[in-house]
A and B are shown apart, each in its own frame.
Chain A
Amino acid sequence: MMILNNKELDLEINYFDKKNETLDREYLEKLQLTKLVKTVDQALKIEFYKKRLNGIGIKSGRDIKSFEDFKKIPFTSKDELRSSYPKGFLSVDMDDVIRLHTSSGTTGVPTVIYHTRNDIENWAFLTARCMMAAGATKKDIFQNMTGYGLFTGGLGMHYGAEKIGMTVIPAGSGNTKRQIQMMKDFKTTVVHATPSYMLHIYDIIVEEGINLSELSLKRAFLGAEPYGEQTRKKLEDLLKIDVYNSYGLSEMNGPGVSFECIYKNGMHTWEDFFILEIIDPVTGKVLEDGKQGEIVFTTLDREATPILRYRTKDLTHVYKGRCECGRVHRRISRITGRTDDMLIINGANVFPSQIEEVIMKYPEVGTNYQIFLTNKGALDKLTVKVEIYSKMFKGEISELDSLKKRIADHIKSAIIVNPTVELHEPGSLPVSEGKAKRVIDERSKL
């Protein structure tokens, strides 16, 4: 049995595409290989891939006969996508392109993804699968509160929602009071937003004195920025809704790549449309299920911009075993960090997310933390600063001493590096919203 926060208990498992969502594994893998042949042929039309694949003896898609062959293909990086801006990764005639999306380009040259009619159709198909897996049906009123335009969140979910037959309100982001008014007037049942915007919506609901019973909200699909299980619980409790996790990236269309089903236990990744690999970000070795590493995706159906073995820089792990919902598509955990965040401390590779994971297990400390790195000669020193959580404070020095020791031991067992743990006053460390600076590296170069 499962527990939902829904006003109506809705235990029905819905599929948008039952046949392909519940294939058997063996068939799915065969299907991937078949699609891979087509994808590689498509990629060979791109100068970048032609050079690269010919270089390792791949002249046609038929040269990929097994996953072993596939694994010989070098990874594609974001920088490589960027370097051929604007048209380098276009593999069809521009006449056949019906839309393009670009990344924001805030960190440099943007990446461009072109879409044919089929690409857009497939994308809509996948977001439809996602939302239906999370319980949405044609009876729902869907208010899409993410940006429309180059940002893929708005249009990606919009087309999928229409495919399901929901009533779509293309609200876009911003204008919170009007958003809430629309929720009231049109009895919105499902929303799509970023977690931080959803928290903001709640604040405004309270500020405006609106009673939750005036709304008909049942579920929210939240993505586009990382958030923790605590934020999910908080939003579910405050708004009396079910919150489902969504993961996607513009290079793989946008939303519609990985999504939670009603069991909220990991995000199903549509493996008939993407090959999912988890690799060791340092060695590039493909890791088995359960191991944390970097997600690597290969598109399997994209015509206009096929991408082979794309390094997302996002860290996660694949869940072992099959989900109760019956879908064969493997699940990934919420994104726990970025490979860019990796620190090398006394020779050990450490991700801040590993430290965070430990801290979150201690109710005696808050969710804010800071990682300080200093060095003395060749030796690095790791200091982890955490905040005391007021509600759990008992006023005992011995408990504080033991808490510090337990957290330090726990971190050491997780990352092998011995940390100094410091306790600080509640609210004294920078807040977690947005891009708070978690890591302060004051090590001088040798």
Chain B
Amino acid sequence: MAKELNVFIDNKPGRLKAITGLLKEKKINLRALTIQVREDFGLIKTIVDKPNEAYMTISDKGFACALKEILAILIDDSPGGLDDILDIFAENNININDSYAFIIDSGNKAVYCVEVVDIEKVKALLEKNGFKLLDDQDLYGL
């Protein structure tokens, strides 16, 4: 499974930049980034090419951060690509807590990252239906 790096930041100007600045310093590349925002704070979720190094760098600076396993599903970058997956989710009554997608090869391949409660169960289900789940190597070797 793939690793997502989550970082807690205050909801105020300059805080996201504090994190990207650290990544830049260590020459760590971002594949994807999304933020869940509350009035007081934000939770940054990122896919980076060196998750462990990024985690060490950011936590050393005193930030609250965590590495999490998530499902990264390879999908076709074509109309209906995402819908095919969501069919399976809907049929099996699986709720999505959070998700985001990014394109890795325009018109060809994209990645759909999704958070669910029972990650192992959903992983097995997707694989049974012929979807490819990307692990760290796959994802960062893209």
Chain A interfacial positions (CB closer than 8 Å to B): 385, 388-390, 393-398, 400-401, 422-428
Contact present for A395 and B10 (CB under 8 Å): no
Chain B 80-102: CB-based contact to A (< 8 A → 1; otherwise 0): 00000000000000000110000
Point out the residues of chain B lying under 8 angstroms from A395, CB to CB: 4, 6, 8, 43, 65-68
A-B contact pairs, 21 of them (CB 8 A): A385-B40, A390-B63, A390-B64, A393-B8, A393-B64, A393-B65, A394-B66, A394-B68, A396-B68, A397-B36, A397-B98, A400-B43, A401-B38, A424-B40, A425-B10, A425-B15, A425-B41, A425-B62, A425-B63, A425-B64, A426-B64
Give bound CA distance, A398 to B38, whole Å.
11
Point out the residues of chain B lying under 8 angstroms from A427, CB to CB: 62
Residue among A388, A395, A398, A424 having the largest count of chain B Cβ atoms under 10 Å: A395
Q: Smallest CB–CB gap between B62 and chain A, Å?
A: 5
Q: If the complex has contacts A390-B59, A424-B41, are A398 and B66 also in contact, measured as CB distance less than 8 A? A: no
Contact present for A388 and B64 (CB under 8 Å): yes
Give bound CA distance, A395 to B46, whole Å.
11
Chain B 41-58: CB-based contact to A (< 8 A → 1; otherwise 0): 101000000000000000
Other contacts beyond A424-B10, A425-B8, A425-B15: 15, CB < 8 A: A388-B8, A390-B64, A390-B65, A393-B64, A393-B65, A393-B66, A395-B4, A395-B43, A395-B66, A395-B67, A400-B38, A400-B43, A422-B41, A423-B38, A427-B62
Name the contact of A400 in the complex, choosing from B10, B41, B65, B98 (C-beta under 8 A): B41
Q: If the complex has contacts A397-B98, A428-B10, are A423 and B63 also in contact, measured as CB distance less than 8 A? A: no
Give bound CA distance, A390 to B64, whole Å.
4
Point out the residues of chain B lying under 8 angstroms from A424, CB to CB: 10, 40-41
Q: If the complex has contacts A397-B98, A428-B10, are A423 and B41 also in contact, measured as CB distance less than 8 A? A: yes
Point out the residues of chain B lying under 8 angstroms from A398, CB to CB: 97
Name the contact of B9 in the complex, choosing from A390, A394, A425 (C-beta under 8 A): A425
Secondary structure at chain B's binding surface: helix, strand, loop or mixed? strand
Residue among A388, A394, A397 having the largest count of chain B Cβ atoms under 10 Å: A397
Point out the residues of chain A lying under 8 angstroms from B10, CB to CB: 424-425, 428
Q: Interface size (B, Cβ < 8 Å)?
A: 22
Q: If the complex has contacts A390-B64, A395-B68, are A423 and B40 also in contact, measured as CB distance less than 8 A? A: yes
Point out the residues of chain B lying under 8 angstroms from A394, CB to CB: 66, 68
Contact present for A422 and B40 (CB under 8 Å): yes
Give bound CA distance, A395 to B97, whole Å.
13
Point out the residues of chain A lying under 8 angstroms from B66, CB to CB: 393-395
- Nearest chain-B residue to A425 (Cβ)? B10
Point out the residues of chain A lying under 8 angstroms from B38, CB to CB: 397, 400-401, 423
Point out the residues of chain B lying under 8 angstroms from A390, CB to CB: 59, 62-65
Point out the residues of chain B lying under 8 angstroms from A388, CB to CB: 8, 41, 64
Give bound CA distance, A306 to B58, whole Å.
60
Give bound CA distance, A426 to B61, whole Å.
10
Give bound CA distance, A422 to B41, whole Å.
8
Give bound CA distance, A76 to B10, whole Å.
47
Give bound CA distance, A195 to B6, whole Å.
37
Point out the residues of chain A lying under 8 angstroms from B67, CB to CB: 395
Residue among B41, B62, B97 having the largest count of chain A Cβ atoms under 10 Å: B41
Closest 4 CB pairs of A and B: A395-B66, A395-B6, A422-B40, A393-B64
- Give the residues from 10 to 44 in chain B that come closer than 8 angstroms, CB to CB, to chain A: 10, 15, 36, 38-41, 43
Q: Smallest CB–CB gap between A419 and chain B, Å?
A: 13
- Nearest chain-B residue to A424 (Cβ)? B10
- Nearest chain-A residue to B117 (Cβ)? A398
Point out the residues of chain A lying under 8 angstroms from B39, CB to CB: 422
Contact present for A426 and B68 (CB under 8 Å): no
Name the contact of B43 in the complex, choosing from A385, A389, A397, A422 (C-beta under 8 A): A397
- Nearest chain-B residue to A366 (Cβ)? B64
Q: Smallest CB–CB gap between B50 and chain A, Å?
A: 17
Q: Smallest CB–CB gap between A239 and chain B, Å?
A: 25
Give bound CA distance, A423 to B37, whole Å.
12
- Nearest chain-A residue to B97 (Cβ)? A398
Give bound CA distance, A385 to B63, whole Å.
17
Point out the residues of chain A lying under 8 angstroms from B4, CB to CB: 395
Point out the residues of chain A lying under 8 angstroms from B6, CB to CB: 395-396
Point out the residues of chain B lying under 8 angstroms from A397, CB to CB: 36, 38, 43, 98
Q: Smallest CB–CB gap between B20 and chain A, Å?
A: 15
Give bound CA distance, A393 to B41, whole Å.
14
Give bound CA distance, A328 to B97, whole Å.
59
Give bound CA distance, A393 to B39, whole Å.
19
Point out the residues of chain B lying under 8 angstroms from A422, CB to CB: 39-41
Q: Smallest CB–CB gap between B70 and chain A, Å?
A: 10
Q: Smallest CB–CB gap between A131 and chain B, Å?
A: 40
Give bound CA distance, A400 to B7, whole Å.
12
Name the contact of A426 in the complex, choosing from B15, B36, B62 (C-beta under 8 A): B62
Q: Smallest CB–CB gap between B45 and chain A, Å?
A: 8
Give bound CA distance, A396 to B8, whole Å.
10
Give bound CA distance, A189 to B67, whole Å.
46
Q: Smallest CB–CB gap between B32 and chain A, Å?
A: 15
